Chain A
Amino acid sequence: MTSFTPLSAAIGGGLIGLAVALLMLLNGRIAGISGIAGGLLSFRRREWRWQIAFLIGLVAAPLLLHAAGYGLPHPAMPASWAVIVIGGLLVGFGTGWSGGCTSGHGLCGMARLSPRSIAATLIFMVTAMIVVFLARHVLGAAL
């Protein structure tokens, strides 16, 4: 159970938006994480250098914040190994198939007011809410 943290959410969200805007203003690219990771994993694009650099930045961020006295993330993952692997496969395959994730559709696409991205965002959010509802409140599983 977590509590509502509007201030840190707004500050963090603002930073995310800044990064998304800068990547377009400087490099002319969409900051969709599944697009960047999937592009890198297609092993044939010429874009791999900046894509690797972006992903290195993502992983380095918590380490730099940690060096500055910030706590490291501590994601709770009570699911079994099988469920973790199935979840990872679904997230990778699904975001590739629909052409975006929470950042590509949810941020970049919504900010462009793209009906395609708005539809995708509504669908993955409602689906995830149904899954959490079924798992927690019907099956009584720990998530």
Chain B
Amino acid sequence: MKTILAALACGLIFGAGLVISGMTETQKIHGFLDIFGAWDPSLLVVMAAAVVVTFFGYMLARRQRAPLFAARALWPTRTEIDLPLVGGAVLFGVGWGLIGFCPGPAIVDLATGAPAVIAFVAAMAIGMIAQNRIRGRQRSLNREAALEAGGD
């Protein structure tokens, strides 16, 4: 129960930060991405402030034996810069540039009830599900190949 309430509070604070910083306005994102137009560097300030606060928060978290409400912290472990990372980032960048929405602001803006936002988030969910499926299939194919090769 504590983890659920903590997550709810974190979602609220995160969402409030996005609204207050203006990152829920696609026009503000386009203003940042349009470096050859009337450039609006607000997004850089948002990221810088968020990264600095996160950096110190994570430093504290590294010193914890365990998180307050969970058995252990799940830190990312992958380090490779591979095709999925690069290809995925390119595809994401195209979508982000076209609409001005990344996942967080799009979900926050569901609160407006605007049909265009709902359509975007529905398509985004389908994209995520499709990617999950492909990854799951890839994983089982890899397992079969390893078995056939006599590996483990």
Given contacts A8-B21, A55-B107, contact A21 B57 (CB under 8 A): yes
Q: Which of A10, A76, A83, A125 contacts B98 (CB 8 A)?
A: A83
B102 contacts across to A, CB distance below 8 A: 33, 91, 95, 101-103
B22 touching A93 by the CB < 8 A rule? no
A-B contact pairs, 24 of them (CB 8 A): A8-B42, A12-B22, A13-B17, A13-B45, A13-B50, A15-B13, A24-B67, A28-B73, A31-B10, A54-B8, A54-B10, A61-B16, A72-B112, A73-B19, A76-B27, A90-B95, A94-B95, A94-B127, A97-B88, A127-B90, A128-B94, A131-B96, A143-B30, A143-B97
CB distance from A91 to the nearest CB of B (A): 4
A6 touching B132 by the CB < 8 A rule? no
A29 touching B74 by the CB < 8 A rule? yes
Bound-complex Cα distance A44 to B31 (A): 39
What 0/1 readout, one digit per residue, does chain A (44-79) give for beta carbons within 8 Å of chain B? 000001110111111111111100001011111101
Q: Which of A30, A53, A94 contacts B8 (CB 8 A)?
A: A53
A126 touching B93 by the CB < 8 A rule? yes
18 more A-B contacts (CB under 8 A) besides A58-B18, A60-B111?
A2-B25, A2-B28, A8-B20, A9-B22, A10-B46, A17-B57, A19-B11, A21-B54, A53-B5, A56-B8, A57-B11, A58-B15, A63-B111, A70-B19, A91-B106, A103-B14, A119-B85, A130-B93
B110 contacts across to A, CB distance below 8 A: 59
B25 touching A18 by the CB < 8 A rule? no
Bound-complex Cα distance A26 to B2 (A): 9
Is there a chain A Cβ closer than 8 Å to B149's Cβ? no
Bound-complex Cα distance A34 to B34 (A): 24
CB distance from A50 to the nearest CB of B (A): 4
Is there a chain A Cβ closer than 8 Å to B147's Cβ? no
Is there a chain A Cβ closer than 8 Å to B146's Cβ? no
Instruction: Report how many residues on chain B are interfacial, defined by Cβ distance under 8 Å.
Output: 118
CB distance from A35 to the nearest CB of B (A): 9
B53 contacts across to A, CB distance below 8 A: 13-14, 16-18, 20-21
Enumerate chain A interface residues (CB-CB to B < 8 A).
1-6, 8-31, 33-34, 37-38, 41-42, 49-51, 53-65, 70, 72-77, 79, 81, 83-99, 101-103, 105-112, 114-116, 119-121, 123-133, 135-137, 143
Q: Which of B99, B125, B135 contacts A41 (CB 8 A)?
A: B125
